[in-house]
Structure 1
Amino acid sequence: MSSTREDSQSASEATPLLANASTIPVGTSADEEDVPALAPTTSGPVTAETQPAEDQIPKAQIFYLCCARLIDPIAFFGIFPFVNQMIFDIGQVPEARVGFYAGLIESIFSVVAMCSTIPWGRLADRIGRKPVLVFSIIGLSICTALFGLSQSLVQMFLTRCSAGLFAGSVVTIRTMMAENSTPKTQARVFSYFAFASNVGIFLGPVLGGALADPAREYGGVFKRVYFFREYPYALATCVIGIFGLLSALFVLVFVEETLKSKTSEAPLNGSSKSEEMSISELVKCPGVARVLFLQCHIMVLAFSFTAVMPVFYFTSIKKGGYGLDPFWISVFMALGGLAQAMWMLAVFPWIQRRWSTGTVIRLCARAYPFFFAILPVYNAILRQGWSNFFWATAPVMSMIGAGVAMCFTAIQLAINDVNPKPATLGTLNSVALALTSGIRSFSPALFTTLFAIGVDRHILAGYFVWVIMIVIAVGFTFDAQLLPANAEGRLDKQESTEGSEP
């Protein structure tokens, strides 16, 4: 047995891919022409070295990367509960125009991130994942802390723009997650990734809403300190910044490098510079363009919702919103983040494994129009004075509707599946995130402007933006049929399955 194990290990080190199919790295297609036939597994009892499924997940590294993943959504969503009030106080703009400026602040972050994502990805391919991850988290943390010290709209724009320069953490963590998973384990690995994202979405609004303007909200020592009276939103952003700096230290100490050329291991799958592809060549690979298109459609739905919701919660009932204060805005947003995390952890892996990645995408596509439609319906309920019914059911419906977020992780798995070879995984993730940032650069401003126009001019009773978003969501139900076969993600396609696709 010892000799057999040594021979198997030696073969694995000398000839990557000559292993059990479940250990093929994500981004490798088993039917590529240059991949040899898979060797049979070693006979004998299953050990930690030969067990192919969940035990091959490097649990410690995945946990550390999930901890690092928290900072980006905390920093991004942490300002949402108070950004509208901050604009209203500092900028002294009319209520109907608050949403417009809130959308611009979010968009300027994304414009800069769109331009910096691919350079960050290429830098990570050159100097390593870990230094890029540490540096980008530090930069994001400092810029987020400075945002709360802004005393004008210009300063708010500049600090948010600066934060966009440090957009390297998301693409780096996504790539490291993929490099720590296999086709058989990636659904669970990326469900952890999404769970961490949604924990961040939960914590961000909680921190932002609870710590915003402490002098007014809590009085006492905060009211006696000049700093908190002069900079009412600094406590929230500084706490988020400190959390980010601690996260960077955590990464520096515990996270291991995954770029093979920067470790003592052989290059992944024997990859070399000769295997690198240009972006145009990569996009022309089978299924890549269509999956990127579907990702863009999903991101339009996602960013329109995340941009409109804070100002929708803030806007008075008679003008088409919920009329909530920053605390209750943070509660609703936190519930949404918590619900998304539960959907991703408890439901997504089961659906994806039982049916397919494509099934998850198509189910979410069918649910999106109803999820959007229920929100103006609840405003109409509030206009009728049925507040008890609203408070009894609206939070629950919000948590149920959060299940559509499963398609965010599903499309990431589809991107991994259509990636032609491991050497292009970082580049493909960079392209996908650059497109995401590009959409986020205009969609928040566009949809918050449409919301403001609908509210200001009372178009369709103030529901103008929801009608547009529902139409786009209906379009996604048709576009979801474009998912290519190599992105379907059926793990059991060669086995008999129980039941049929929903």
Structure 2
Amino acid sequence: MAPPPPEPISSSSSDLTLMDPEPMPSENTPLITGKSTDEAEDGAHHKPSKPLPKMQVFLLCFAKVMEPIAFFAIFPFIAEMVAKNGNLPKSDVGFYSGLIESLFSATQMVVLYFWGHLADTIGRKPVLLWTLAGMTVATFFFTVSTTIWQMILFRCIAGVFSGSGLVIRTMLSDHTTSETQAVAFSWFAFANNMGIFLGPIIGGVLADPVEQFPSVFKGIQLLEDYPYLLAGVALTVINIVSIVLCIFYLEETLEPEPTETTSSTAGPVIRPHRLSTRELLKAPGVAVVIWVYTHVMFLAFAFTAILPVLLYTPVKLGGVGFSAFHISLWMATQGAAQAAWLVIAFPFLQRRIGTKGSMAACVVAYPFFFAGYVVMNFLLRADTESAMAAFWVVAPIVAVVGPGVSMAFTAVQLALNDVSPNPHVMGTLNALAMTAASAVRSFVPGVSTVLFAIGVHNQILWGHLVWAILIPIAMSLMIFVKWLPEDKQSHKLAREREEDED
């Protein structure tokens, strides 16, 4: 069993934990009791070298899979569910479906800071369990809703309890060092992708079983009255497994705050001091890392929204004109390639060139990745033998090499870990970054698809208006990456090069 969480420290909810020595420390005084000056000035994440706790990482990644499964499982049937529950014409279904998902993101944006602060105060494990349990209950009741207002209510409640992702990020940060964090967060990203992949499959296969599998389920009144109950039960069972495993095997990672030192060499007595959110944002490197984090999420949300529509849109309008089968094959290929880049390539790359170097490489590649879809369309428009031959050279590069830009998601998370002033604000720092990302997600997908539709409908720039906007936005990210503070892995590599030269 995990040790009990540390006692809460009374303060206003707008305060964050930071250690402040008394009397006033010199510039080199450690922030955390019992650590050397060198360790302290490296920040919160620089810990003594230790092996990666594989079982703890596995449990956290398994819990992470549950969140996107619960989120994306409703996508295959939400439009049908809205139409049935609201008795609506097809023309109104899209509005209410979009409203339900936008409210989820809006609710999440409001509460993430609360969950992050709570995780920094009473402990990571209880907050993780509460959020997982709340998401499970809300998702189940969503699947048995019989009116649109019930759907909205329970989706908003699910948004309220959507803090497990930030707690898992924080616990992974607590478990890792600068040498092991790349591997752990690569598996974290892989787990998220697995949830995105499995969620729609579970929801699609189990939705309305009476209609899909009449030979098995026809005549079962409960499933006829609640066509999405079976999907809700499956999601509940899966989440309960994760919750039970976390209860019995997951360890608390928030260490109690030291209040005084006993070592004569550790420095003066230390007492808890409070840092406001504004002061946290002014801490070295924090603001620019959160900006880069939000910028990367902006590009990701926009591309994710545009891709399915682009692949479906006819070539003459600016798309690729794939069939449903080819769209599925393309997206599956990109998903597999992204997983390989995250799990295999990123840890190696991060060890070789550091977090900032890895981030810079992804940022340089982003505009070319986006431009690849424009090139594909122009080659298909040309429809000559040489153009088609060139297309079959460009398309695999876009599908397999292009998803390497997804390593930016993991790199910016490691950058966030590195700038945390100390472990006791890691949850709040993650919450601030994810709140900004949630704000972006509440409007970017919709705006992106509207811009795509405008460009296609009016043939602005041959239908490539949205890329003409996104490519410069991607290029501008290069400016902000230059402002990122040097990460610990880069410092380590620099020291090793100096030692080799000596």
**What TM-score, normalized by structure 2, do the two folds share?**
0.76
> Is this contact kept in 1: 2:69–2:200, CA < 8 A?
yes
1:378-406 CA-partner distances (Å, limit 9, x unpaired): 567778899x9999985774343221111
**RMSD over aligned Cα, in angstroms?**
4.1
- For the residue of structure 2 that corresponds to 1:182, the secondary structure is coil
Alignment of 1:73-88 (within 5 A): 73-83=68-78
The equivalent residue for 2:256 is: 261
> Is this contact kept in 1: 2:179–2:489, CA < 8 A?
no
Q: Distance in 1 between matches of 2:324 and 2:270?
A: 52
1:176 aligns with 2:171: yes
The equivalent residue for 1:308 is: 306
The equivalent residue for 1:137 is: 132
The equivalent residue for 1:9 is: none
2:441 maps to amino acid: R
Q: Rate the CA distance shift 1:309–1:39 in 2: closer, same or farther, 3 A.
A: closer
The equivalent residue for 1:92 is: 89
Q: Distance in 2 between matches of 1:106 and 1:146?
A: 16
2:466 maps to amino acid: V
2:194 maps to amino acid: V
Q: Distance in 2 between matches of 1:383 and 1:210?
A: 37
Cα offset, 1:320, TM superposition: 5.8
Q: Rate the CA distance shift 1:39–1:408 in 2: closer, same or farther, 3 A.
A: closer
Q: Distance in 1 between matches of 2:333 and 2:499?
A: 34
Q: Rate the CA distance shift 1:39–1:493 in 2: closer, same or farther, 3 A.
A: closer
| Unaligned runs of at least 5 residues, structure 1 | 1-26, 41-50
Q: Distance in 1 between matches of 2:102 and 2:449?
A: 11
The equivalent residue for 1:72 is: 67
Of 286, 289, 292, 1:291 maps to 289
Of 98, 107, 117, 2:102 maps to 107
Cα offset, 1:212, TM superposition: 4.5
1:443 aligns with 2:444: yes
Alignment of 1:323-362 (within 5 A): 333-362=331-360
Q: Rate the CA distance shift 1:38–1:120 in 2: closer, same or farther, 3 A.
A: closer
Alignment of 1:458-469 (within 5 A): 459-469=460-470
Cα offset, 1:361, TM superposition: 1.0
2:52 maps to amino acid: I
> Is this contact kept in 2: 1:103–1:446, CA < 8 A?
no
Q: Distance in 2 between matches of 1:179 and 1:249?
A: 22
Q: Rate the CA distance shift 1:104–1:376 in 2: closer, same or farther, 3 A.
A: farther
1:418-469 CA-partner distances (Å, limit 9, x unpaired): 1122222222122112212222222223223333444555555544333322
Q: Distance in 1 between matches of 2:207 and 2:36?
A: 60
Of 95, 117, 126, 1:122 maps to 117
Q: Distance in 1 between matches of 2:318 and 2:217?
A: 34
> Is this contact kept in 2: 1:196–1:341, CA < 8 A?
no
Q: Distance in 2 between matches of 1:393 and 1:274?
A: 57
- For the residue of structure 2 that corresponds to 1:276, the secondary structure is strand
Q: Distance in 1 between matches of 2:214 and 2:394?
A: 33
Q: Distance in 2 between matches of 1:87 and 1:385?
A: 42
> Is this contact kept in 1: 2:355–2:487, CA < 8 A?
no
Number of residues paired by the alignment?
Answer: 453
Q: Distance in 2 between matches of 1:299 and 1:326?
A: 27
Q: Distance in 1 between matches of 2:257 and 2:400?
A: 43
The equivalent residue for 2:416 is: 415
Percent identity, please: 44
> Is this contact kept in 2: 1:199–1:337, CA < 8 A?
no
Q: Rate the CA distance shift 1:148–1:308 in 2: closer, same or farther, 3 A.
A: farther
Q: Distance in 1 between matches of 2:79 and 2:313?
A: 10
1:139-180 CA-partner distances (Å, limit 9, x unpaired): 212323344445665554433322110122011111111111
- For the residue of structure 2 that corresponds to 1:491, the secondary structure is helix
1:293 maps to amino acid: W
The equivalent residue for 1:474 is: 475
Q: Which has the higher mean CA deviation after the structures are superposed, 127-136 or 465-474?
A: 465-474
Q: Rate the CA distance shift 1:169–1:147 in 2: closer, same or farther, 3 A.
A: same
**What TM-score, normalized by structure 1, do the two folds share?**
0.76
Cα offset, 1:208, TM superposition: 3.5
Q: Distance in 2 between matches of 1:216 and 1:344?
A: 39
Q: Rate the CA distance shift 1:465–1:52 in 2: closer, same or farther, 3 A.
A: same
Q: Distance in 2 between matches of 1:85 and 1:377?
A: 36
| Unaligned runs of at least 5 residues, structure 2 | 1-18, 20-25, 40-46
Cα offset, 1:281, TM superposition: 0.7
The equivalent residue for 2:9 is: none
Q: Distance in 1 between matches of 2:291 and 2:57?
A: 29
Q: Rate the CA distance shift 1:133–1:339 in 2: closer, same or farther, 3 A.
A: same
> Is this contact kept in 1: 2:127–2:167, CA < 8 A?
yes
The equivalent residue for 2:367 is: 369
Alignment of 1:209-288 (within 5 A): 209-212=204-207, 214=209, 219-222=214-217, 225=220, 234-261=229-256, 274-288=272-286
Q: Distance in 1 between matches of 2:177 and 2:320?
A: 44
Cα offset, 1:484, TM superposition: 2.5
Cα offset, 1:220, TM superposition: 3.2
